[in-house]
Each structure stands twice: as structure tokens, then as C-alpha cells.
Amino acid sequence: ATRDPAGRPLAGRTMLVTSGPTHEPIDPVRYIANRSSGKQGHAIARAAAAAGAAVTLVSGPVTLPDPPGVSVVHVESAREMLAAVEAALPVDVAVFAAAVADWRVASAGDQKIKKGAAGAPQLALVENPDILATVSKRTAGRPPLVVGFAAETQNVVTNAREKLARKGCDWIVANDVSADSGIAGGVMGGDSNSVHVVTADGVDSWPAQSKEEVARALVARIAAALKERT
Ligand code: CTP
Ligand code: CA
């Protein structure tokens, strides 16, 4: 593809995006999950494709259609998401917008757990792999630009700075998902988002805008950053 900085600033670039929740099985009919519509991650994949990038979208279970012009890999669990992400490398930029379940059931059963005299099951949980941290800390094949998300209900920027350091990514896009975020109906499942872009250089707080607008602004910022690094 030829570079057209005006309309297609990501022409010739490759991008990986994760989106949606993960489902962690308890048994064949039940699961643990995070709340996530996938709207923000899918919008980023769409905006990046419109900007000319070759995009791989690794999506957990969502009700959204696959964005046209994007290579979509469907997964269920965090471990499947990690494997799909690693298979998609190398890329120029990776954006981790998925709401990955932090824990899974230690030994998910092959058979449906039945109610009975034994009472409620005691589910032992184990921590899932941290996909963002795993990719950020790779020595070989680390994407030149790694962007994480953080959904916070309090101390949004402080928690985001702490996450940036702990995960080893380049940027954290932090959003306030508290009920008093100022966004009518809330961020979760809604169409609007109010984000702070936290980097080593400082914090950019963007006004509340649609998830589409956040996606386009983020893609523009990514294109500018990649251009700066050649
Ligand atoms: N993330 C990930 N793999 C996980 C957990 C989180 O890749 N197992 C990514 C998310 O996609 C997001 C970022 O890490 O880009 C931050 O997720 P978040 O849930 O806010 O951070 P955690 O480290 O899980 O911290 P906590 O949930 O305790 O706030
Ligand atoms: Ca988490």
C-alpha cells in the first residue's frame, strides 16, 4: 500500500486490537465474565482499518458484527485470547481494549454441576495470564507501541499511572466507569466515553465523546506516534 498521510495515515502499518469480555467456563453451561460490550475495541479496529492499517481483531464473545475489512479471530477464554494475540505478532501497534476476566475456575468440569444435597459448589479460582503485561514484557517481537486500557471507578489517573508502570506498556487509556462519571446511562454498554491518555510524558484528558470519536482520536494519536518513530 502507498502512504497517503492525509486520508490513510496508517497505510502500510499492522495493528492488533483485543475487544470484548472473556468467558471462563465453570462447567459446560456456566461461565464467569466481565461486563464489556466490545463497542470501544471494535470502534478502534474499524477506525484503524479506515486509516489504512492491516488490522487483526481478537474478540471475546460480543453481539457486535465483525467490522468489515478487519481480520477477526473469535475466542472465549483469556488463555485462548493470549494464544490468538501471540499468533498475530509481530505488529506495529497493539491495543488491548478487552475486559479480560482476572480469574478462571481452577478445574472447570466436563459435566454440568447439579444442584443437590451437597449445597452450593465452592469454586476455587486461579489468576488468568495478563495478556497486556505478557506482550509488553516480551524481549523478542514486542510491538513498538503497546497501548493498554484501564476501567476505573476511583482515582482514575493515579491508578492508570500505576498500571502503566506495572504492565510495562507505553500508554494507558483510562476511563472513568463510575456511576457519577457524568455520562448519562454510564460508560458500560453505552455509546460515550470519557478518557485520559496516560503516558510517560504526561496525561491528556479528552472531553466526553462517542466511542467512535474516541477511536478516531486514538488512531490519529497512534499514527502521529508511529510517524515520529519513523
Ligand atoms: N488485561 C489483560 N489481561 C488480563 C487482565 C487485563 O490483557 N488478564 C489488560 C486489559 O485488556 C487492559 C489492561 O490490562 O488493557 C488493564 O486491565 P484492568 O482490568 O484495568 O487491570 P488489572 O491489571 O486486571 O487490574 P484490576 O482489574 O485489579 O484493576
Ligand atoms: Ca482486571
Grid cell listed for 146: 503497546
What pLDDT does 87 receive? 98
Grid cell listed for 180: 457519577
- Nearest atom, ligand 1, residue 132 CA: 7
- CA separation for the pair 141, 178 (Å, rounded): 36
Closest CA to 146 of 169, 130, 163: 169
**15 backbone dihedrals φ, ψ, rounded to 5°:** -140, 140
Is 115 known as a binding-site position? no
Cα–ligand 1 centroid distance for 118 (angstroms):
35
* Those residues with Cβ within 8 angstroms of residue 139's Cβ, 6 or more apart along the chain or in another chain: none
Output the residue whose Cα is nearest ligand 1's atom 24. 102
This prediction's pTM:
0.94
Ligand closest to CA 155:
1
Predicted confidence (pLDDT) per residue in 20-74, tens digit: 999 999 999 999 999 999 999 999 999 999 999 999 999 999 999 999 999 999 9
Active-site residue flag, 34: yes
Predicted confidence (pLDDT) per residue in 83-96, tens digit: 999 999 999 999 99
Cβ 162 under 6 angstroms from ligand 1: no
Predicted confidence (pLDDT) per residue in 93-146, tens digit: 999 999 999 999 999 989 999 998 889 999 999 999 999 999 999 999 999 999
